Amino acid sequence: MERLNQALYSAFEQDARVHLIGEDLLDPYGGAFKVSKGLSSAYPERVLTSPVSEAAISGVAGGMALRGLLPVVEIMFGDFSTLIADQVINSLTKFRAMYNGAVDVPVVIRAPMGGRRGYGPTHSQTLEKLFLGVPGLRVLAPNTLSDPGQLLLDAILRDPGPVFFVENKLLYLKEVLGQEALAEYQVEQNTPTDSYAATTRLQIQGAPKPTLTLVAYGYMAELAREAQQRLAFEHEIFCELVAPSQLAPFGADGALDPLLLASIQRTRHLLTIEEGSYSLGWGAEVAARAAQALGPALQAVQRVAAAEAPIPASVPLERANLPGVDDIVAAARKMV
Amino acid sequence: MSADYYRQMARIRRFEETVLEQFSSGLFYGTTHTYIGQEANAVGVLSHLAEGDIVFSNHRCHGHFIAYGGDLRALFAELMGKPSGVVGGIGGSQHIHWRDFYSNGVLGSTAPVATGAALAEKVQGSGKLAVIFLGDGALGEGVLYESLNIAALWQAPILFVLEDNRIAQTTPIELNLAGDIAARFAAFGIPVAELDSSDLTEIADAAAPLFGELRSGGGPQALVLHTARFGPHSKGDDTRDEAAVARLRAERDPLTIHAATLDEAERLGIEAEVADEVAAAFAQAQADPEHQP
Ligand SMILES: Cc1ncc(C[n+]2csc(CCOP(=O)(O)OP(=O)(O)O)c2C)c(N)n1
Ligand SMILES: [Mg+2]
């Protein structure tokens, strides 16, 4: 959370074209999840607290971007991203292509997603899969293994846009893992490019050769890391964990993030992990591309995801609905 | 001036007639929505435009584009899906962009985008304004009202032009709209002028003070133009009573009305020149190369 807040400050400081639009942004409140705290005091002219109009503010941001500004939109709960779908799909992501490359649409739409807080069926969802596969839309989701602030800053200042930036609510409470916290891992990180944002691969130092690739993004990367530990120390199953921060686009012609592809080529077993509901999700696309790339060399694929039912408010029922560490461990044990 | 306005309207009319005549020949892709009968709206309103002002248009954008100064050959080529088209044949009839002109065929979706564009000009202190054309059918879209609210709250320099031709595709306004059009804008505190006319001079005069307000730093303005569509919604899909449409043509043709200000020889001269100009643009577009993917 601090990293994201700091990134917004840096963006405002570095470029006067940056504006923030969203509901309840003004201090002392500073947005429902406080990511925008302080900004309205520091930059009162450039923080626009808006009516409860998700469709319009995303479109307004699109218009601002067409005309030379760098707008950032905060959607209070990611669940309400359904209301921006038309603007994102039929306007913001269309302009560059349908106007024959003559315009850029540097909009970043930030949306907190995810459950485990008892907010119930319409305030707990992980809906980004609805936006994956929309041509022209980059979907990013930070995790604790690489700097979320840098990811956001680059999206705001350097991406020709539009970008859908997914922030898991529970990640707001987590610290980014520094060198010390990661000391027990062998860490591999890519150099972010125009094609792929930051991806991190973790493997426990000194462990035997991994036989399974866990791939997870956002908060699920945290849970997957816990599962990686338990699998190693309780079940002697050794995994590589790959945590991409770019969910879309995947790359042309069936491409896969090179770090992820290399991992699957080594382990030949793939477990995809996401908090969205099971069918037709991100994991399905990863699995399909892994199968395309490896052919018969790919020995097993499984998916861990949320149940296909509305997320209950009751905490024990919610826990049963959403994927947890136990689910990852159980799925992995069936595979190797 | 008067002759020039007539020329602009004649250009739109002849362009659109050519589109309808030629559609069956298979030269154009997709669909089209012609502006025949409404020419005075675009020409009258946009006569007040200054360099760098922004225009947002809808599915029925050819007239707006031509009145804006858009190139006829490029628009024909766009309908033919060619590289020489306004946007290289990618957008087609409803999705064009040139200079500060943008159109999108998703009804109402342009309202927030145009509002944001106007706000960007305000923020950057450019002194430019935005004009957005919407049809009566777009009044059914919720995002329009979100946008009116924001435009008024944040005092965006934008003129909402509502062209009410009393029909949306095939559905008459009586089945589409409850309540009053002007009152919708007034409810957001947006000053609104309303006119039922096909007379270019009256339309231009009605728009003038709204542009004046915007240029002197005022917030959003609205202009409701009750008008008449003479042609089909798209091509060959007019479900209206033929006699009623014929009456509209007889009573409120903006070209006939404006012709009264010109002498006969001048008018005929303009018409002949425009016919040649449009024919040449069409021929050039036809000769332009196709995409070779
Ligand atoms: C969101 C949306 N819904 C439906 C359509 C299909 N459609 C195209 S034009 C039209 C009618 C538009 O009527 P109006 O706004 O009055 O404009 P007019 O055609 O009369 O100029 C419809 C329904 C569309 N383009 N966009
Ligand atoms: Mg209409």
DSSP string, A54-97: HHHHHHHHHHHHHTT-EEEEE-SSGGGGGGGHHIIIIIIHHHHH
Report the sign of the C-alpha dihedral through residues B139, B141, B144, B145, in that order: positive
Indicate the DSSP class of residue A302.
E
> Mind listing the pLDDT tens digit for each residue in B130-159?
999 999 999 999 999 999 999 999 999 999
Mutate to test the interface with B, among A64, A73, A90, A107 (most CBs of B within 10 A): A64
Structure confidence at residue B259 (pLDDT): 96
Compare A253 and B258 and report the one with higher pLDDT.
Answer: B258
Does pLDDT of B1 surpass 80?
Answer: no
Q: Is the peptide bond before A323 cis (omega within 30 degrees of 0)?
A: no
Class of domain A2-173 as given by CATH: alpha beta
Per the structure block, which two tokens stand in for B131?
């004009």
Q: Answer yes or no: same fold for A2-173 and A185-335.
A: yes
Average pLDDT over residues B225-242: 94
Host domain of residue B217: 37-70+90-261
Structure confidence at residue B44 (pLDDT): 98
pTM: 0.97
Per-residue pLDDT band for A5 (boundaries 50, 70, 90) equals: very high
Answer whether residue B143 is part of any domain. yes
Structure confidence at residue A90 (pLDDT): 98
The mean pLDDT of chain B is 97
The residues facing B212 across adjacent strands are: none
Sheet holding A246-248, edge to edge: A47-49, A18-22, A70-74, A108-113, A163-168, A138-140, A246-248
Structure confidence at residue B187 (pLDDT): 98
Structure confidence at residue A258 (pLDDT): 95
Residue numbers in A near B119 (CB within 8 A): 60, 63-64
Q: Check pocket membership of B226 for ligand 1, CB cut-off 6 A.
A: no
d(CA A46, CA A8): 12
Per-residue pLDDT band for B95 (boundaries 50, 70, 90) equals: very high
Place of tokens 């694929």: A301
Average pLDDT over residues A210-222: 98
Q: Check pocket membership of B280 for ligand 1, CB cut-off 6 A.
A: no
Domain boundaries of chain A, sorted by first residue: 2-173, 185-335
Average pLDDT over residues B73-87: 98
Residue A188: its H or E element: strand A185-189
Place of tokens 């700091």: A6
Answer whether residue B246 is part of any domain. yes
Structure confidence at residue A178 (pLDDT): 87
What DSSP assignment string belongs to B155-167? T--EEEEEEE-SE
Answer whether residue B84 is part of any domain. no
Average pLDDT over residues B259-287: 97
CA separation, residue A111 to residues A63, A78, A142, A165, A199 (Å): 20, 5, 12, 6, 20
d(CA B99, CA B82): 19
The reply to whether A53 touches chain B by the CB within 8 Å rule is: yes
The reply to whether B278 touches chain A by the CB within 8 Å rule is: no
Structure confidence at residue B192 (pLDDT): 98
Residues with Cβ within 8 Å of residue A7, at least 6 apart in sequence: A148, A149, A150, A152, A153, A156
Please provide the size of chain B in residues.
Answer: 293
Does pLDDT of B33 surpass 80?
Answer: yes
Q: Which of B38, B62, B107 to mutate to test the pocket of ligand 1 (most atoms within 8 A of CB)?
A: B107
Average pLDDT over residues A10-15: 98
Residue numbers in A near B189 (CB within 8 A): none
d(CA B181, CA B155): 21
Which SS3 state, helix, strand or coil, does residue B1 take?
Answer: coil
d(CA A121, CA A210): 38
Q: What residue type is assigned to position A162 of the chain?
A: P
Q: Check pocket membership of B105 for ligand 1, CB cut-off 6 A.
A: yes
> Mind listing the pLDDT tens digit for each residue in A114-140?
999 999 999 999 999 999 999 999 999
* Residues B54, A62: C-beta atoms closer than 8 Å: no
Sheet holding B101-103, edge to edge: B97-98, B101-103, B54-57, B130-135, B158-164, B221-226, B192-196
Q: Is the peptide bond before A148 cis (omega within 30 degrees of 0)?
A: no
Judge whether B120 and A69 are in contact, CB under 8 Å.
yes
Judge whether B69 and B4 are in contact, CB under 8 Å.
no
Reported ipTM: the value is 0.96
Structure confidence at residue B62 (pLDDT): 98
Structure confidence at residue B267 (pLDDT): 97
Judge whether B138 and B144 are in contact, CB under 8 Å.
yes
Burial status of residue A281 (CB atoms within 10 A of its CB: 0-12, 13-18, 19 or more): buried
Indicate the DSSP class of residue A237.
-
- CATH number of the CATH domain containing B113: 3.40.50.970
Residue A179 CA, chain-centre distance (Å), reads 22
Per-residue pLDDT band for B236 (boundaries 50, 70, 90) equals: confident
* Residues A59, B109: C-beta atoms closer than 8 Å: yes
Per-residue pLDDT band for A280 (boundaries 50, 70, 90) equals: very high
Structure confidence at residue A194 (pLDDT): 86
> Mind listing the pLDDT tens digit for each residue in A156-191?
999 999 999 999 999 999 989 988 889 999 999 999
Judge whether B169 and B125 are in contact, CB under 8 Å.
no
Q: Is the peptide bond before A310 cis (omega within 30 degrees of 0)?
A: no
pLDDT above 70 covers a percentage of chain B that reads 100
CA angle B145, B146, B149 (to 5 degrees): 85
Answer whether residue B245 is part of any domain. yes
Residue numbers in A near B150 (CB within 8 A): 50-51, 53, 56-57, 60
d(CA A19, CA A169): 23
Answer whether residue B78 is part of any domain. no
Residue numbers in A near B111 (CB within 8 A): 56, 59
Structure confidence at residue B250 (pLDDT): 97
Domain spanning A185-335: CATH 3.40.50.920: yes
Per-residue pLDDT band for B261 (boundaries 50, 70, 90) equals: very high
Answer whether residue B196 is part of any domain. yes
Judge whether A133 and A209 are in contact, CB under 8 Å.
no
Answer whether residue B283 is part of any domain. no
Structure confidence at residue A256 (pLDDT): 96
- The number of folded domains in chain B is 1
pLDDT above 90 covers a percentage of chain A that reads 96
Answer whether residue B95 is part of any domain. yes
